[in-house]
Amino acid sequence: MMDVKIECPKCNQSGSIKVEENIVKKSLKGVIAINIGEDLICSHSFMIYIDKNFKVRDTFISDFKVELPLIILDKKKMQKWMTFLKILMVI
Ligand SMILES: [Zn+2]
């Protein structure tokens, strides 16, 4: 088993999962897709692609079929903006 560090593309929460070496070695393309279920790393469910070197090639939220700009999904940035707008409105 290999520990693979992953990061949620939605909330940036990071954690590690254990991946069986054989699964990666046996894969034809040398890249495997893993679906990270909700509550494993955070409250989101997302997909990750791992290559033969157990490096994460790509991550994306599986709920969305179309790739959305990450800025839209970034809650922290949105909240900052909301705070900023509220301050502007008070002024
Ligand atoms: Zn998350």
- Calpha distance 21→66 (Å, rounded): 31
Distance 33 CA to ligand 1 centre (A): 18
Distance 32 CA to ligand 1 centre (A): 21
pLDDT at 87 over 70: no
Taking only the tens place, the pLDDT of each residue in 1-51 is 889 999 999 999 999 998 888 887 888 777 888 888 888 899 998 988 888
- Ion ligand 1: residues, Cβ under 5 Å: 8, 10-11, 13, 42, 44
**Percent of the chain clearing pLDDT 90 (strictly above):** 19
Distance 3 CA to ligand 1 centre (A): 19
Distance 7 CA to ligand 1 centre (A): 8
Domain positions in the chain are 2-66
